[in-house]
Each structure stands twice: as C-alpha cells, then as structure tokens.
Amino acid sequence: MLEATPKEIIPRKALRINPAKTCQPIGAMYAALGIHRCLPHSHGSQGCASYHRMHLTRHFRDPVMASTSSFTEGASVFGGSSNLRQAIKNIFHIYNPDVVAIHTTCLSETIGDDVPSIIRSAQELIPEGKHVIHANTPSYVGSHITGFANMTVGMVRCLAKKNNADISCRINIIPGFVEPGDIREIKRLVRLLEIPGNIFPDTSDVLDSPMTGRLNFYPEGGARVETIEASGSAEATVSLGSFSSLPAALELNVRYGVEVVSLKVPIGIEATDRFVMRLLALSGRKTPPVELAKERGRLVDLMTDTCYQYQGKRVALFGDPDLVIPMTEFLLSLGMQPVYCLTGTPGRKFVEEIKRICDRRVPDLRVEAGADLFLLHQWIKNEKVDLIIGNTYGKYISKAEGIPLVRYGFPILDRIAYPYFPNVGYGGAMRLLEKISTALLDKQDAEASDEQFELVM
C-alpha cells in the first residue's frame, strides 16, 4: 500500500503523485449530460472518450453515452476538422440528439483546432431546430471542475437569449458539480419556496434514471433547451460554488445584465440557511415554509444530541473546492477541527476562503490548492487525525494509517447509491452527520476492549 510514503515534505513544483482531481473533459461531459437529449462529444482520440465515459459510469453506475472524433495519426498531423464535420453529420443522422456538446481534449488543443470555426463551416450539417455547443477543455489546465465550468459557460454563450416578454423564469440556479440527488433536493427547496426558477445543468433523472425495462437512449431528465434559452431573461442567477458555477453566472451578467448571486453549495446548516434566506428575499416572502423550519429544527436537535461525539475531533478533508469549503464550515459548526484541507483544483481563492472560515479557530490549519494526496498523506504521517473525509481515493491512506474514511465527493467508486441521496439542504446535513458519527463509532467499537464494548453510545 502506501507505507513507503515519507514523513519529510520536500517542495514539488513539476510532479504530482496521486492527484486529488481528474481532467477537464470529465467535468465537461458531466455538465453536458445535464441538458435534455444532449450527446456529449469528445474532440480527440477514442481512448480519451472511453476513459471519461468509464470514470463517470463507475461513479454513477449508469451507462454514460458520448461520441468521439476518433483521431488517428492523420488527424493529429493535419488537424481534426474533417473528423469533426463527419462526426456532426453522423451523430444527427444516427443518434438524433437535440444538442451536441463538443469539448476538446489535450490532443485537439495541442494541435490548435479552432472548434468554433469548424462548427460554423458545418452549419449545413446541423438539422433545423438542433444545436451544437462547445467548450475548450484541455486536460493539462485546471481540473474536472474547470471543465464543468467551461461547458456551463458554453451553454450560456451558445443557447441563452434575452426575451423581455418572457416572465416564466424569475431566477436561474446553477447548482455546480453536485450529484443528481443534490439537484433533486435543490429543486424541492425551490418548489417549497414557490419561486419560478430554471436549473441548469440538471443531471437528475439522467444519471439516476429508473429501470423501466425499455432502452431509452435519452432519459427524461435534463434541462430543456428552452430553459437555458430563457436564462438571459431572468432577474438573477444564483450560482452555487464559485469554482464550478460562478463563471456562467458572470457570463449571463455580461451578456444580458442578469444579477449575480454567488453562494456556497448549501451543505451544512449555515450554507443552507444562506441559500434559503437569499431565495426568500428573491421571492418576496417574509418567512420560510413550516416544512423547512421543521427540517432545520430536526437538524439542530440531531447536532445537539451528538455534539459530544464530534467535539475537538481532528479531520483531514479533501476534494472539489466547492464541496470542501462548505464542509469545512459545517465541521466547525459541529465543534470539529478541519486541520487539513486540500484540493487538486488550482486557485488561491480556495486557500483564502478556507483561512477566512477557520480564522484562528483552527490554530494548526494546513490548506493547499492544486495539491495531491501524497502531500495529504505526509501531513497525516507527521500528525494524525481522527477522520478523513473525501472520495474513494482516500481509502488507501485510510487503510495505511488506520483512520476511518467518510466517502464524500467525486468519484465514489467502491460504494453504491452515493449519487442518489443528497448532501445538500438540512436533510443532507443530517445524512452527513449520520455518516460521520457511524465512522467514528465503528472505529471506537473495533478498538474497544470487552470491558469497554458498550451497547449504547
């Protein structure tokens, strides 16, 4: 396993060992699947598309459909224009999607393919009423979160419109790189607050679609094209997560003057409170629905009942920045100490925000952006923690150091049903509380002597 990881930390600029991220096209592909009847298209080699589809399929345990330009040596030398034109023709003829979402790869970016120009030259191949959108997503820059953000910006650039007569959309909500279960919960909260709103991308009922016994190449879910077109007519855009959602909200603001409301993903009690109160303000309501108030009360009751389990526990937390930031806030509200916070996505904003949230409450805080799990393991080897929170790749550190792992974020490859249940909202916070408590108590039970092995905790 990882027993050879040294304690001595040597600065590394050009080497990443066990990265805490994956590449841009995976995020772009996931975002594209959030459009109804959309086929993601990878402008590169077959191997790239196969890897991205496989990674998403393993996490969601649902088949992920995507096409590819199928570069060979010739396309690598002379460019992929003819491959892409032929791909567009074949896709609409064979698969008949409403939208084709093209994202680039390392290879097409390196040889310099001008995808917008290729699409313009292929307009006669695009049937009337169909759409082709695109985003530049080189894998050697950013992470899957960057790719998600770029594709969401591509949706705005290629589809959004301004129609002053359109009053069906009061607000846009861009949920960020979250699970289908999270998006379903966000939609429920919006319904409870009685706000006419558009949510995009929307992967609910796409990557968690029910088994019907019939092959349906395009599931029922996903944001409709008309939903994204109406986004330019909204009063405001609520972006959940500054890394994955804010760029598209800013694009709507620049193009159509739509107000930007930037919030954290509503994970934990404080982030959910801010989300609900801001939506209340946008809706004009003065008080939240009784149902929401009861949900919050149950969460507070659970936090009070279990506070003795969490107080002072040291936590190592890693993953996507838009998930790590609100989780750090939530852990502090439980009395825990998130001493190590790390993301593989580059960006000083992450470091600054974590330091602002912790603000002298975590004296031995270590935080790093654009880092890897080798560094996190070295931190833990130098000073242990009680709990690790992160995706499946944290299980190797967990096993090597004998520290319980709470699976959280993307990808979760070794457990089932993670995408189906929300982490957002008050109910999601209760679920996270249960998972944290179970991990800590399982460790306590496993190490207890016969005399200390208690029935009731």
Tokens found for residue 151: 């594709």
Position 168 scores a pLDDT of 57
Q: With 0-12 CB in 10 A as exposed, 13-18 as middle and 19+ as buried, what is 133?
A: buried
Look at residue 166 in the predicted model and tell me its pLDDT: 56
What average pLDDT does the structure give for the chain?
94
Residue 345: pLDDT band by 50, 70, 90 thresholds? very high
> What pLDDT does residue 164 have?
60
The pLDDT value recorded for residue 120 is 95
Q: State yes or no: pLDDT of 375 exceeds 80.
A: yes
The angle formed by the CA atoms of residues 135, 140 and 145, to the nearest 5 degrees, is 55
Structure tokens given for 173: 């909500």
Q: Which amino acid is at 145?
A: I
Q: How far is CA 32 from the centre of its chain?
A: 13
pLDDT of residue 413: 96
Orientation of helix 246-256 relative to helix 144-159, angle to 10°: 20
Residues 6+ apart with CB under 8 A from 389: 315, 316, 317, 318, 319, 327, 331, 405, 406, 408, 436
For the chain, what percent of residues have pLDDT higher than 70?
98
44-65: pLDDT as tens digits: 999 999 999 999 999 999 999 9
pLDDT at 1 over 60: no
pLDDT at 284: 84
Q: Give residue for tokens 């759409």.
A: 131
Number of CB atoms found within 10 A of residue 127's CB: 11
Query: For 69-120, what is each residue's pLDDT tens digit?
Result: 999 888 888 888 999 999 999 999 999 999 999 999 999 999 999 999 999 9
pLDDT (tens digit per residue) in 264-322: 999 999 999 999 999 999 888 888 999 999 999 999 999 999 988 899 999 999 999 99
Closest C-alpha among 332, 325, 322 to residue 361: 332
Average of per-residue pLDDT across 354-362: 94
Determine the longest span between alpha carbons in the chain, in angstroms.
78
Q: What is the pLDDT of residues 206-250, one digit of tens each?
A: 999 998 888 888 999 999 999 999 999 999 999 999 999 999 999
User: How many other C-beta atoms are found inside a 10 Å radius of the C-beta of residue 361?
Assistant: 10
CATH of range 171-283; options 3.10.180.10, 3.40.47.10, 3.40.50.1980, 3.90.228.20? 3.40.50.1980
Residue 6 backbone dihedrals phi, psi, to 5 degrees: -80, 155
Q: How confident is the model at residue 348 (pLDDT cuts 50, 70, 90)?
A: very high
Domain with CATH 3.40.50.1980 in the chain: 24-141, 171-283, 306-448
pLDDT tens per residue across span 120-176: 999 999 999 999 999 999 999 999 999 999 999 999 999 999 876 555 568 999 999
The CATH architecture one would assign to domain 306-448 is 3-Layer(aba) Sandwich (3.40)
Q: What pLDDT does residue 167 have?
A: 53
Q: What is the CA radius of gyration of the chain?
A: 23
The architecture (CATH level 2) of 24-141 comes to 3-Layer(aba) Sandwich (3.40)
The per-residue pLDDT for range 10-19, each reduced to its tens digit, is 988 889 999 9
